[in-house]
Structure 1
C-alpha cells in the first residue's frame, strides 16, 4: 500500500519576532512570504491547507494561486495557544515558569493556554482528514505535533529537529488508525 505525501511548511518571519506568538495574528513580512513561496511552490500537491492566521494564510494563498489550487483553512493547524503569554516578549515572561513549560509543556501549561497533548490531538485529527498529497502552511508547534503523532517522537527529542521560518518538512503517511508516518525530507 502506498503512502500519501504531506508537506508541512512553517510560516515565514513576521512583525512579531522576539515574542511568543501562538493564536496572535502577527502580520507576515514580505521576505517571509517570499521564503515560503520558494520552498512551498516546489512540491507536487493536489490540495493546500493553512491555519487561518495571516502569517500562514498569506503565503498559502500565493502558493495556491501559482499552482491553480484553492487554499483551504483548517484552524486545527494553528500554533499552540500560549494563553496569557501570547504576544509577550520572552524576557517579560516569568523565567522559571517559561523554563518549566519549555521542558515539559504537557505538565506546565501557560496560564489559560493549551497543553501539548491537546495540540498533538488536534493535529492528529487534522492529519486523519488528509487523503491526498497536500501542502499545509502552519506553525512550528503544529509541525512538531505532527511528528509526535505520526512518528512517535516526543519531548525532548522534538527540539533536536530544527524548524526555522519557511522550513518545509515532508512526511509520508499511511492509512490506518492510528496513522503512522516517516520523515522523508526537510528543507530549511
Structure 2
C-alpha cells in the first residue's frame, strides 16, 4: 500500500479588484495579499511549489522564494461571459441557478463544475508528498470535492478567503483535512 501524501493548497492573496467573478482574467494581487500568502505558507513544510499559471496565483507563488512549476490545471473556473464581472450586474436568475447547480447551469460560454473537478483531480493525482499548490478558490474547492467527496454545495460551506491554506493528507482511496490556516 502506498503511503500518504501531504499537500498544501493555498489560495492566492487579495486582488486589486475584489468582489468580481475572477475566472481566467488577469488581475494583480495587492502587496498585502502577497504578504498574507507568505505569512500563511511559512507554517507549512513543503519541498516544491506548484502554481496556477494565472498571474494572481503565479505572483504569490513567486514570492514564496522557492522554484515554481506552473500548471494550468490549477486555474480558476472559467466564468466565460461573466469573467471579470460584478455579480450584482448579472441576471439574478441565471446567477442563482449557477450557485445552485454549477454543473447544470454554468456561466454563458463558461466551464462546468464537473470539468473543473476533472482537471483538478488529475492535477492533484500528479502531486508528490510535501507539495504546496498556489491556486484559486474554485480550484481549491474542486480539490476538496475530489479528495474528500464533498458535493458542490458542501464545498461552499467552507469559508476560504484569499490567502487561506488547506492542508490535506491523501491516501490512495481517501483524504483528510488536517489543517486550515488564514
Could you say whether these structures have the same fold, taking a TM-score greater than 0.5 normalized by the shorter chain as the test? yes
**Distance in 2 (alpha carbons) for counterparts of 1:18 and 1:127:** 27
Deviations 1:17-62 (A, max 9, x none): 1211010111001000000000012211111011011111111111
1:182 aligns with 2:179: no
Conserved in 2, the CA contact under 8 Å of 1:47 and 1:132?
no
Deviations 1:110-155 (A, max 9, x none): 0100000000000000011112210000001001100110111112
SS of the residue corresponding to residue 99 of structure 1 reads: helix
**Distance in 2 (alpha carbons) for counterparts of 1:101 and 1:155:** 11
Residue of structure 1 in register with 2:94 after alignment:
97
1:84 aligns with 2:81: yes
**Distance in 2 (alpha carbons) for counterparts of 1:42 and 1:186:** 11
Match of 1:117 among 114, 125, 130: 114
- RMSD over aligned Cα, in angstroms? 1.0
Q: Which runs of 5+ in 2 are unaligned?
A: none
Q: Which runs of 5+ in 1 are unaligned?
A: none
**Distance in 1 (alpha carbons) for counterparts of 2:174 and 2:69:** 24
Conserved in 2, the CA contact under 8 Å of 1:50 and 1:74?
yes
Residue of structure 2 in register with 1:19 after alignment:
20
**Distance in 2 (alpha carbons) for counterparts of 1:104 and 1:184:** 28
When normalised by structure 2's length, the TM-score is 0.96
Equivalences for residues 36-185 of structure 1 within 5 A: 36-63=37-64, 65=65, 69-175=66-172, 179-185=173-179
**Distance in 2 (alpha carbons) for counterparts of 1:84 and 1:134:** 33
**Distance in 2 (alpha carbons) for counterparts of 1:13 and 1:113:** 23
**Distance in 1 (alpha carbons) for counterparts of 2:70 and 2:130:** 16
**Distance in 1 (alpha carbons) for counterparts of 2:148 and 2:129:** 19
SS of the residue corresponding to residue 156 of structure 1 reads: helix
